[in-house]
Each structure stands twice: as structure tokens, then as C-alpha cells.
A and B are shown apart, each in its own frame.
Chain A
Amino acid sequence: MIFSRIAKAALDRFRSSLQIRALVYTVALSGSALIVLGGVLSVSIGNGLFNTRTEHAVMESNRAKFAVARLFQGVPGQNSWQLQQALDDVVSELESIGVSQTRQVAFIQSPNQANSLNLSSPRSAGLDLDLITKDFRKLVRSEPTVQSQTVQIMRGSESIPAILIGQRFTLPGGHRYELYLVYDMYNEQQTLAFVQRTLVLGGLVTLLIIGFFSFLVTSWLVRPVQDAAEASELIASGDLDRRLVVRGSDVAAVLARSFNHMADSLQDKIKALGQLSKMQQRFVSDVSHELRTPLTTMKLSADYLYGEKDGFPDPARRSVEILHGQMDRFDVLLADLLEISRYDAAGVKPEFEVHDINGLVGTSLAAIQQFADSKGVYLDADIPSGAVQCEVDARRIDRIINNLLTNAIEHSEGKPVNIRVAQNDRAIAISVTDHGIGMSENEARQAFNRFWRADPSRKRTTGGTGLGLAISIEDAQLHQGKLEVIAEPGFGACFRLTIPKRQDVTDYVSPLPLALDKA
């Protein structure tokens, strides 16, 4: 569990860090190279030592043959105490010959001879005759030259390699004997082990040094890339003034220069766009304001004429009525435009207070009842008993509810409109569902766009400005809330407003479903 987590963390680190990856690859590759090199060296040194020792042993063995021959000079060829004496001397003579400190000797009578001697075959104390296999003895008997073989002997509890040398020997009187010499390779093995230890240690140190240097080199190479990555992160998060330091004239400097150049032009573009957007917002705001004074005058004039309309001839009276109606529409449009420009300029300061949502919805329902009646629409409200407390800017929530209700009544084609209110621990929701003409998925997606109308060919009979839902969604977002819609052509549309109960709540689910009940 813990190991897998550590392994996962290490893997992530490996994947995410270019430098660590470069380091790991370098060390792994140099490590393999060192292992191969060390292996080859060790084998070749081992072979060298073995060959030298073997040559040495063969040479000594030749010398030993002469020494043994000398022992048997003038000794009678039959069973005799002289012969036994000479045989006994073989071992001590050969054990002390030459320079090899440790050498064991066996002088064995070959089997199956017509006139075998009834004398003991001398050998060094502690020599295990099992070392000398029947196959090897057969080989020695059949070949006139010196034969050698590698064997393992025990020294104490330690098994060490040794060279077994064998050659045939004929005693005076024609008796066939075999002379075996065992040279242990304890020293050679010690030397080889020492060499191997040195190689391993040297390899590890080399690997560490390689790792250290490649760390230095990679950090030096990766640094500019890392700097660029950090700077781009900072720029992306809004710190547009961030730049890289340009050093020297290598590829890193080119990277830094190009990066800075890119950041400069990006900053210029953003600044220009920001200014343009600010100017435009300001313009919309100014226009809306400047229009207000003449609009006031026109409205007052239109109102006055409207009051006097009964004294006018028919066409003039109708014109006054039209003028009067359109002034009101213009007024609402201008107010909406001003409100949205205020949102665009981020100049909205909400006033949050705890309100009872049921109360707000009830007031809105009462206010819109007359409009619903005029359209023949039944308002079906499903409101929980008790208070639904929520921290809101009541004016804005009123505006959203009103907007949703007006839209629903207008598009319901006389069918009932359902209003639901619900709450859970963290949030409240209000949904308004109509069962009228509905919208396609694509239309629903655009429903919150400014000046968007569901069907461009539809006559603009209703008084909406086309900004209502655009303002509503801004109002909802101001409350950390959501305004969503689901719709289907022919089945109507359901708008759902969800708002956290307190402004510091960010994680919440809506207590109402976003669904059309087609039943």
C-alpha cells in the first residue's frame, strides 16, 4: 500500500521532471556499460591468472618427472624395500620442489598390469583421491604428454579451485605408474576477488561521479527551459510583466529573447483589447446615460399627448397611442442596456441580506397574476411550508423570478406554468417550467445570449428586450449561483435557478431536478 504509493509518486516525479529522466537514463546507460566492461575485464583477468598458473604447473610437473626419475635410478625393478623407499620419498621430494607453496602429490600404480607391485601408492596427506576421476586417469594413461584439469578442492570449509596435473610414469622394471599433482589456486582466487571488488567499487564511484556530473550538466541545460515554463505559468495566471533574463548568445538566450518578445506582444494585445473593451463599455454606459434626459422629455411629452388623445382625430390618436407604448419599451430597453453595461464594467455591488425565498416568489407571483390571467395561463406553485432562508440581493432575485415567469407565460401557449421552490442544507432552488413551444438543444444553449430570440422569424409581439436572460444569468452568477435550462421542442422549457444559502458556500447541489415533466 505505502510502497505502491511511493512507487507511484516516484513514477510521477520521473514523468514530470525532464531532468530526473535525463539523469536516470544517463546513469542507467553508463551503469550497463560499466557492468559489461567490468565483466569482460574480470573474465579476462581471471583467464590470465588461470593460464599462467596452469603453464607454471605444467612446467613444474615436467621438472617433477625428472626428479622422480632420479629417485628411481639404480633401484631394482622388483618388490624390494629399496623400491618402497623410493616410492615413499616421491611425495616428500615433490612437495618441496619448486616455488609453489601448496602442492599435493599422488603417485598411483596404474591398474590391470601383468606384474603389479604389491606396494602402497604414496600420496600427500589430506589429498582426496576422489578428485582424480576414472576418466581423467584413463586420459592420462592413454596420452604420453602432461594432462591438466580444473577441480574444486576443500580447504577447511572453503571450496577453492585447483589444477590437477597428471602424467604417466614407468618405473624401472616396466611398472606403469601415474603421477598426479594438485596445485590449488587460492592465491589466484584471492587476487581475482580483490580485482573484482576493486572493479565493483571503482564502477560505483564512477557511476556516482557520472550521475553527479550529468546532474550538473542537465540542470544547466534544463534551467532555461524551467525558467521559461515558470514564467509562462505566471503570465498565464495574470502576471503579464514577467520576463526571462537573457544571458549570453546561445540557444538558451535565443529562447529567452523569443519568449520575452512573445510576452511583450501578448501584453500589448491584451492591454489594447482591455482598453478597447473598457472604452466600449464606457461608451455603452455613456450613451445609455446621455439618452436618458431626452428620453425623459419625450416620455413626458408622449404621456401628456396620451392624456389628451381623446381630443385628437382618429389617425393622430392612434399614433399617440403607438408613440406612448413604444416609449415604455424604449425605456425598459435602455434600463436593461445600462444594467448589462454595469455588469460588463464589473461595477455591480450586490447587497446581500437573508430573505425568505418563499416570500419573494409569492410577491412575484401576485404581481404577475394579472399578466398570466390575460394570457389564460394557470400558475401552479409548489412551495414548501415554512421559511426558505437564503442570503440574497432581493432586488436581483426578484428580477430573475419575474423574468423567468414572464418568459414562461409568454411561451406556454396557454398551458399551465409550474413554479417550484426547494431547499437542502446548502442551497435553494427555484424552477419555472412551461409546457409550450419549447426550444431545440441548440436554441437552449443560446438562450442566455444577448438579444437572442428563439425564432428569428417570430414576430416581436412580446415586450422583452432580449436582454432579460442575459441579465438574469449575471444576477445568478453574482450570487455564486447557477441558472440552467433544459428544453425540448413541443414539450416546453424548464429554467432552474440554484443559489447557495450563504455566499461562502461554493460546493452545493441543486435541491430541484432540471427536467421537463412530459406527463
Chain B
Amino acid sequence: MYKLLIVEDDDALREQLEIGLASSGFELCFAATGLEAIPAFEKHKPDLILLDLMLPGKNGIEICTEIRKTSGVPIIMLTARTDDSDMIRGLEAGADDYVTKPYKIEILVSRIKARLRPIKDVQQTIIKIGPVELDTLSHEVRKGDKKIALTPLEFKLLVTLASHPNEVFSREMLLEQVWEYTYKADTRLVNVHVQRLRSKIEDDQEDPKLVLTVRGWGYKAGPE
């Protein structure tokens, strides 16, 4: 049974979420302020965090940044702000996905499940892309001798691209295959995560050799 940490300061919403998610089969734990979030995360060790961005004490972006220093746990932002800048800042801080208020419980559950689902059957166990080696069983990533820590989402993004080298993936395709969106979603989700991924695996982020942009189309994994 997966354990979710819900960081939400609104009492009524927290209670309604508890009712709504009760039948979905998750174990729930809560934090009501920004300051409680990190201790709750360390105490409960959840499999996924639902994080409200506007919180008293410490805001969601700060919490996100802090958690990402030690953990790749999937984080879904719950945001009332549909202002793009907030959403982008949240993604840049390390959130994997976002859900805009007001949301339906079904949407929330499907987003959660998408993030918890293990990577679908990949043919090879070892995938190579340039000097980077992906082990799809242990989820380990190495670049030469150095171990690279990718979040599950980043890992999935890289596996998706690298298992079909030189094949172009449009942003929409990546949203569908990596994020498992079945309806239209913001393609900037892809842009931000490709940037994060590059910052971890590329020698020079400004001149990527492994994850390449195909102007007007999308992205592809670079030559061997």
C-alpha cells in the first residue's frame, strides 16, 4: 500500500481529501503548515507527496527544493495559482507534475497513480547513451565511474528517449508516455524536466550532446 503525504493548510480541503481518497486505497498522512512538512516527510517516508504551493511558514517551492536535496520522491504540486511563473518555479524546484485547483478527485488519483506506476517492460536491462549507462532493474545511472542520482521521473524520461536512440519524441508524445497524460497538458512540463535532466547528465548544459532539441518537433536521445 502506497503512502501519501498531503501538505495542505486548508482544514476543510484536507478533510475532504481524506474522505475522497479513502476509497482509493492509499495510506494518508498530513502536514498542515510549511514548517511541519519536512519533519512529516522524514517521519513517514511517504511514496509520494501532494504539495500545496501557498503555505504558511514555508512555501511549497522551498519545501520542494529541500526535499530534492536528499530524495527523488515523486512530488505533485497542488496550485491555486495558474500563473505560469509559479508553476514553472515549482517544476524547476523539482516537482514532477502539477494539478491546478479546483481539481476532480479522479484527476488527482490518476496523476498519483501515473507517478507511482513502475516503468513498463523495457526490453534491455542496460541502456547506453553516450558515456551514460542506465540499469533498468536497479534504476542505477552511471556516467563513467560516477553514479548519477535521477528522480524516478527523470529516469523514466531518459529511458523513454534512450531506448529509441535518434528517434524524435514530440513534447505531446513525452507527456503521454512519461507523464501518462491522456488529455492535453502543458508542454512546458517537458521543457523544464529536460533542462533538469541535462543539468545532471550533460558535460555542458548549454551544448547538450545526449538529449538533443529538435527545433519545431521535440527531443531525441543523441548518437551513441
Q: Which A residues are closer than 8 A to B by beta carbons?
A: 289-290, 292-301, 303-304, 331, 335, 338, 342, 347, 349, 351, 353-354, 395, 398
Contacts and interface: CB of A to CB of B under 8 A. Distances in A.
B223 interface: no
B102 A295 contact: yes
B80 A293 contact: yes
B137 interface: no
B16 interface: yes
Contacts of B16: 297, 300-301, 304
B204 interface: no
Contacts of B12: 294, 297
B105 A300 contact: yes
A297 B103 CA distance: 9
Interface string B81-96: 1111000000000000
Contacts of A296: 13, 80, 101-103
B10 interface: yes
A353 B172 CA distance: 14
**Residue of B80, B83, B102 with highest tally of chain A CB at under 10 A:** B102
Contact of A353 (B17, B105, B184, B216): B216
19 contacts: A290-B80, A292-B101, A293-B101, A294-B10, A295-B102, A297-B10, A297-B13, A298-B102, A299-B102, A300-B13, A300-B17, A300-B102, A301-B16, A304-B16, A304-B105, A331-B102, A335-B82, A338-B82, A353-B216
Interface in B207-224: 216
Nearest to A354: B216
A293 B13 contact: yes
A162 to B, nearest CB: 102
A293 B79 CA distance: 9
A303 B105 contact: yes
Contacts of B130: none
B19 interface: yes
A299 B20 CA distance: 11
Nearest first, the 10 A-B pairs at minimum CB distance are A292-B80, A296-B102, A292-B101, A297-B13, A296-B101, A300-B16, A299-B102, A295-B102, A297-B12, A297-B16
Nearest to B9: A293
Nearest to A349: B84
B117 interface: no
B104 interface: yes
Contacts of A331: 102
B83 A342 contact: yes
A403 to B, nearest CB: 16
A299 B81 contact: no
B10 A293 contact: yes
Contacts of A289: 80-81
Nearest to B102: A296
